[in-house]
Structure 1
Amino acid sequence: MRSKLAAGVLVALAFLIPAAPAAAQAQAPGLDPACQTVERKVYTDIRELITIDLDTATDQELRVLTAQILHVANTDELPVLPQAIQEQLKGTPEGLRAFLKQGVLDAWSTGLRVTVAQTLTNAGPNVEAAAQKLLGAPSIDAYLEYLNNGVYEARELDCKSQPTATPTSQPTATPSATPSATSTAVPTGAPSVSPGAPGGEGGGLPVTGSDTATVAGIGGALLLLGGVGFVIGRRRRARFVA
């Protein structure tokens, strides 16, 4: 119970201890891998936190310093270092003292190196060249300079070299008055007038064809009968007179 309480007190004290001056400095915005403006992430120089004599410091002072370094490592989202510190807090004071003298710097350097390598994801040619050169010559100072400034300068160069996407203005399609099928003007059919139908304008048309022959035959028969009747009538009248 007491150990848990002491650990809680150490963490609280670590929060109250001021961070390194570099973390408090306002930084100009930078660019992310997608060339979007973002707030720069500033990595703290942990060496500036070690302000006590590690050889003469008390066990309590060592644990407070360790808690402060752990807080900064978690804030900077560094790999490797937080796990290494957690393991040392479980050990002896002497082991912790030895770790703060050299082990913490080794773990921190490894964490910074991994972070530098992570910037290669979706990196442009300038970022890739700067990171590869840095990884070939490991140095804590070089890592910090790159993560706090160099990577943003390289990204700016990469973003400037990218072609500006000029939106192509395509004319709005004007619907053409193209008929779906060739439309031919079909005259409206005038009502046909049956030949000889009453009420037709201008009277009926002359009767032709088979109807004409029928009418002519009937007319001829009537004329013949009329002639016969006329002849018979004259003969009777002549006999009567005689």
Structure 2
Amino acid sequence: MRRGIPAGVLIALALLVPAAPAAAQAETPGLNAACQTVERKLYKDIRELVTIDLDTATDGEVQLVGNQIMAAVRTDELPVLLPAIQKHLDGTAEDLRAFLKKGVYSARTADLRIAVGRTMTDAGANVQAAAQKALNSGTINASLAYLNEELYAARALDCASQPTPSASVNPSATSSVTPSVTPSATTTAAPVPTASASTDAPSGEGGGLAVTGADIGTVAGAGGALLLLGGVGYVIGRRRRSRFVA
């Protein structure tokens, strides 16, 4: 005759049994999608919880395994297994027993594939490659290995290949310096007006040249006047001679 186990005891055992190994594994840090160090999100291998012979186990033992699986996947926030196990826990013992024999693993495989796909959003090349490899395999083992180990190793590689913030500062500093130097060179070259000043200078210092030009004109005028007077005197002199001879 099969013995029944109180529901309260089943729930307590279900919550405590999977908690210890998960807590021990969660101590290892890893990088999240933003390359920040965080505690790893670990996915439980629910096959480790099925330690009884489902064909010969009592209804209470089957119920205990179902509650342990539900507790293990509750924090995964995945859409397939949790509602399915809850539905069979609320049903008959035979329905739960049949689900634990086969359906539970199909539901877990679907959930893990969804979890793998979520990590590929805006991920680097290494994460993309490792995730695709796990999806191509399609097994629980491959998905768990990726989600619990390979994902964090691939993220570390992707984060290490990202440019450092200091590299983005240097270009801005260079660009800000270059324009400031170029205008200054232009303004220093501006003293070309010195040449124009030299062209204006003749009006000041070159006044001697201007005066010299004026003196030459005066001398020329005086010379012309003297020449004219000499011509007039020559004509007058000839007239006098002609009269004297006559």
**TM-score, structure 1 as length reference:** 0.63
- Counterparts of 1:62-141 in structure 2, within 5 Å, are 62-141=62-141
Aligned residues: 169
Distance in 1, matches of 2:38 and 2:20, equals: 22
- Unpaired runs of 5+ residues, structure 2, are 1-5, 181-246
Shift of 1:44: 1.2
Distance in 2, matches of 1:105 and 1:23, equals: 23
Cα contact 1:89–1:96 (8 A) shared by 2: yes
Cα contact 1:23–1:42 (8 A) shared by 2: no
Identity of aligned residues (%): 60
Distance in 2, matches of 1:137 and 1:73, equals: 22
Distance in 2, matches of 1:27 and 1:57, equals: 35
Q: Which amino acid aligns with 2:73?
A: A
Cα contact 1:20–1:46 (8 A) shared by 2: no
Q: Deviation per CA, 1:89-136, whole angstroms, max 9, x where unpaired?
A: 232211111111111111111111100000011201111111122212
Aligned to 1:41: 41
- Counterparts of 1:197-216 in structure 2, within 5 Å, are none
Q: 1:14 to 1:142 in 2, by over 3 A?
A: same
Distance in 2, matches of 1:128 and 1:134, equals: 10
Cα contact 2:126–2:157 (8 A) shared by 1: yes
Aligned to 1:146: 146
Aligned to 2:160: 160
Which one is further off, 99-108 or 10-19?
Answer: 10-19
Distance in 1, matches of 2:18 and 2:110, equals: 25
Cα contact 2:88–2:96 (8 A) shared by 1: yes
Give secondary structure in 2 for the equivalent of 1:30.
Answer: strand
Compute the RMSD of aligned alpha carbons.
2.4
Q: Deviation per CA, 1:144-188, whole angstroms, max 9, x where unpaired?
A: 000001011111111111122212374899xxxxxxxxxxxxxxx
Aligned to 1:28: 28
**TM-score, structure 2 as length reference:** 0.62
Q: Highest CA radius of gyration, 1 or 2?
A: 1
Asked if 1:52 is matched to 2:38, the reply is no
Cα contact 1:35–1:155 (8 A) shared by 2: yes
Q: Which amino acid aligns with 1:88?
A: H
Q: Which amino acid aligns with 1:68?
A: Q
- Unpaired runs of 5+ residues, structure 1, are 1-5, 174-242
Aligned to 1:180: none
Distance in 1, matches of 2:100 and 2:134, equals: 26
